[in-house]
A and B are shown apart, each in its own frame.
Chain A
Amino acid sequence: MLRKLLILLVCLFSFALNMIAEASGTEITALHWGVSKENVFRVVLDCTGPTDAQAVLNDDSLMVSVGGGLKPYVSKDYKVKSDTVDHVELQATGEKTLLQLPLTRKLASSDYKIFVLKKDPVTKRPDRIVIDIASSNLNFTPVSGTEAVIPGTPAKPTFEIGGGIKGKMITLDPGHGGTDPGAIGKQGTKEKDITLKISMKVRDYLLDKGAQVSMTRTNDKDVYGPDATDAQELQSRVDVAQTNDADLFVSIHCNASTNPNVGGISSYFFPKTDYDKIAAAAIQDDLTKKFALDDLGVRQANFYVNKRSSMPTVLIETAFLSNQKEEKLLRSNWFQNKMAKAIADGIEDYFAATGGDQ
């Protein structure tokens, strides 16, 4: 145990020295927080470059000093939900930024860890400082020196919840495409064209809100390849969300039924995480508030993209192409716009609402 601690200290020290040299000019651009399924409270600071952080643990607070300034537009006070911390404050002190976490219970030094994540060009994530605090009923397994502090150790494939939409990675999947037209309306409207148009508009709204967006397709193509099997095609869409380490995966479809009288909006989830249903409900709520179409509800379904992805996933059925009235709506630009805005607002609500109380 003592040896492990020594290794840890040596690692920490050399790492800190190394990082201080690089820290000049670095600035914090955003703070995100969330609570994992294992009830670990996490704060992530996005930075413009590599930096370091040191923590001081007191009885009633955890103070983290981060090398680098604070961009003026970053909020300084955050209300959070966890069993250890209820608010987080940032304080710019010239070359350093102080992160204050007032504690609602006493922590042991093994209850928290601080580490850096290097910039990741693949997922377009910036350099980050991460602070994890274990919940009261779950301690971290003893830290084996290297794991916690080696810079750039890739984070476990995970997703962030809560803390607002800024900086969150959202993967959008316009349903069908290429050789697969999806449903076709009486007027000849193809599902693949409408889902792409709406998805591209959702992307713009999400980018405006400060989110990061990755797309399974941005033109009329098969994601896997022409005439692929359902398995190849659906899995390749899930793969896009996985490789982008998405926090939320949203697949956008138009519905169709053999019965032309059926119409309405529905949002589907598969309950593989605690947040799938919450995300679906947040989106469905915005959709049904803004449209006078039937509310078919938030429904559980064994859909491939929902089930086979690791992050919370929602499949939205915007409206029915088999319903004459709704086909006309789906074809119109204003409806696509309104639909896209409602979806983006729903996603924003999801990240604003999720916290530590689930």
Chain B
Amino acid sequence: MMKWYKLLLAPLLILCFLASGCSTPKTEEKPVTPPVVNEQRFVVYRVTGEGQGYLVAEKYTIKDNGKSAAENALRTLIETKPQDSKLVNVLPADTKVLGLSIKDGVASADFSKDIKKLGGGSYNELMATGAIVNTLTEFPEIKKVQILVEGKKVVSLNGHMDLTDPLERDTSLLSSGQKTKAK
């Protein structure tokens, strides 16, 4: 096995040498230093606009603004419209993200009281909380999400959910084919 491998390696090395334009072999191959990280990549879960209520992942790449990628993902979810016009943002338009802290795998996501204007039925509440929790649990350091309003725990947003305890990722809300993490 080893011999076969070495045999293959030799012509490869020669080929490399030829490809480099027969120039003098480099004296020292410097390890490629990763480029300075100035952008963040994350996904945000949006709600499907029609038919069966599901969450669909949208990919984002943004310039680093000094905030954590998790906080940027949450802000993108709450404060921007989906890229795809077939997807909707079910959260009330005035909602602000007041903060995001992570401790022992639990992310505490704090929203302004506008989030309580959610209205609608259990569908809206399920989709709104599902979008928040699934977006944040994309990050390996976040296992559960505690939703806070103005720094305090709440039982529900519009009278259906039990938000007393941190919520876990809910893959039943994801459309089939993306049951695992998007990244």
Contacts and interface: CB of A to CB of B under 8 A. Distances in A.
A14 interface: no
A264 B163 CA distance: 25
Interface string B106-149: 00000000000001111110110100000000000000000000
A304 B124 contact: no
Interface string A122-133: 000000000000
Interface stretch (A2-10, A36-44, A205-213, A255-263): A255-263
Given A261-B50, A302-B167, A230 B119 contact: no
Interface residues of A, number: 39
Nearest to B120: A256
B31 interface: no
A259 B88 contact: yes
A307 B162 contact: yes
A308 B162 CA distance: 9
Nearest to B49: A259
Interface in A243-264: 253-259, 261-262, 264
B154 interface: yes
Q: How extensive is the interface on chain B, given as a class?
A: 20 to 34
Contacts of A321: 121
B162 A304 contact: yes
Contacts of B122: 253, 255, 268, 301, 303, 315, 317
Contacts of B47: 259
B160 A315 contact: yes
Nearest to A264: B52
Contacts of B167: 302
A234 B90 contact: no
Interface in B154-174: 154-156, 159-164, 167, 170, 172
Contact of A303 (B51, B53, B120, B162): B162
Contacts of A258: 88, 90, 120, 124
The CB with the most chain A CB atoms within 10 A, among B49, B121, B127, is that of: B121
Contacts of A296: 52-53
A229 interface: yes
B115 to A, nearest CB: 13
A308 B160 CA distance: 12
Nearest to A308: B162
Contacts of A307: 162
A294 B123 CA distance: 14
A220 interface: no
Nearest to A176: B159
A330 B19 CA distance: 74
Given A262-B50, A294-B52, A296-B53, A180 B123 contact: no
14 contacts: A182-B159, A191-B121, A230-B154, A231-B155, A253-B122, A255-B122, A257-B90, A264-B52, A268-B122, A301-B126, A302-B161, A304-B155, A304-B160, A315-B160
Q: Would you list the 10 A-B pairs with minimal beta carbon distance, nearest first?
A: A255-B121, A256-B121, A256-B120, A304-B162, A230-B155, A231-B155, A230-B156, A255-B123, A183-B121, A261-B50
Given A175-B159, A183-B121, 5 more contacts: A256-B123, A257-B121, A258-B90, A294-B51, A303-B161
